[in-house]
Amino acid sequence: MRKLATLIGVILLYAACKNGGTQATLPIYGNRDTKTITKDGKQVVDTIYQTIPAFRFVNQYGDSITQNSLKGDIYVADFFFTTCPSICPIMHRNMLKVYSEFKNVSDFKIISHSIDPKHDSVPILKKYADGLGISGNSWWLLQGKKDDTYNLSASYLVRRPEESAKELFIHDGYFVLIDKQKRIRGSYDGTDEKDVARMIGDIKTLRAETNPQIAQ
C-alpha cells in the first residue's frame, strides 16, 4: 500500500514537472474568417485571422514608417500623448523595462502612437524620446493624421481615443502584442507592473515560436 502511494506520488510529480516544462503557445485574438483554398489539388478550409492593416506614420526621427518597416518583427503597440498627466507616465515607466529587456533584439520593436499629433510634432517626440532615455530604432514614437491613428486603434481592439475638456484625451492603457504575421497575440494593462512582466514572458514565448509564414 505504501509502495503504491509512493509510486502515485512519483507519477504525479513527473506529470507536474512535464506540464510546467512545455511552452504554451499564445492565443490568437480578433475576428476570424475562413477561406477555401486549393492545396495539393485538394480543397481545404483555411482560417483567416484578423491582422493589423496597412498604415503610414512618421517617427521621432522624421522617418516615414509603414507596415513594411515592421516586416519580420514582433512588436508591442500603445497609444499615448506627451503631455498626458494621468496614465502615460506609468505606462512608459513600465515600457522602459520592456525596452531595456529587448533593445538589442533585432526582431522586436515598440511603437507608441501619439493621439495628439497637433501638439506632438516630430521635434516634440524626439525631445520626449531623449527625456525617456531611448535611442536607436527599437522604440518608435509615431505621429500622423489624427483620424488614421484613431481608426487604427480599432484594429488593436482598444478603445477609440476621445478628446475631453478635462483630461484632454481619454484612451486605454493597453500594450498590444503583435506577431510577425501581424496578428494580435496578447493585450496587457500597461499601468500594471505584473501584467507587463507577464508580457515580457509572452514576448519570449512568441520569439521562440517557429512559423515560417510571414505576412507581406
Residue (of 109, 115, 119, 130) closest to 60 by Cα position: 130
85 versus 136: smaller Cβ distance to other proteins: 85
Residue 171 near other proteins by CB under 8 A: no
User: Does 170 participate in binding other proteins (rule CB under 8 A)?
Assistant: no
CA torsion angle 4 5 6 12 (round to 10): 110
CB of 93 to other proteins, least distance (A): 5
Nearer Cβ to other proteins (128/188): 128
Q: Under the criterion CB under 8 A, does residue 46 sit at the interface with other proteins?
A: no
Nearer to other proteins by Cβ, of 27 and 133: the residue is 133
Q: Where are the alpha helices (DSSP H) in 53-192?
A: 88-102, 122-132, 146-155
Q: Is 83 in the site for other proteins (CB under 8 A)?
A: yes
Of 68 and 83, which has the nearer Cβ to other proteins? 83
Q: Is 183 in the site for other proteins (CB under 8 A)?
A: no
Name which of 125 and 184 has its Cβ closer to other proteins: 125
Query: Hey, what long-range contacts does 168-173 have (CB within 8 A, 24 or more apart)?
Result: 168/81, 168/83, 168/84, 168/85, 168/116, 169/81, 169/84, 169/115, 169/116, 171/79, 171/80, 171/115, 172/79, 173/78, 173/87, 173/88, 173/90, 173/91
Strand-pairing partners, residue 162, are 170
Q: Does 132 bind other proteins (CB under 8 A)?
A: yes
List, in sequence order, every residue forming a beta bridge with 184; answer none if it has no partner.
178
Question: Judged by CB under 8 A, which of 30, 56, 93, 157 binds other proteins?
Answer: 93
Give the range of 41-49, 126-134, 153-161, 196-204 binding other proteins by CB under 8 A: 126-134
Least distance in angstroms from the C-beta of 126 to other proteins? 13
Decide: is 136 part of the binding site for other proteins (CB under 8 A): no
- Cα→Cα distances 200→154, 157, 188, 204, 205, Å: 24, 20, 10, 7, 9
Q: Which residues bind other proteins (CB under 8 A)?
A: 83, 85-87, 89-90, 92-93, 96, 128, 130-133
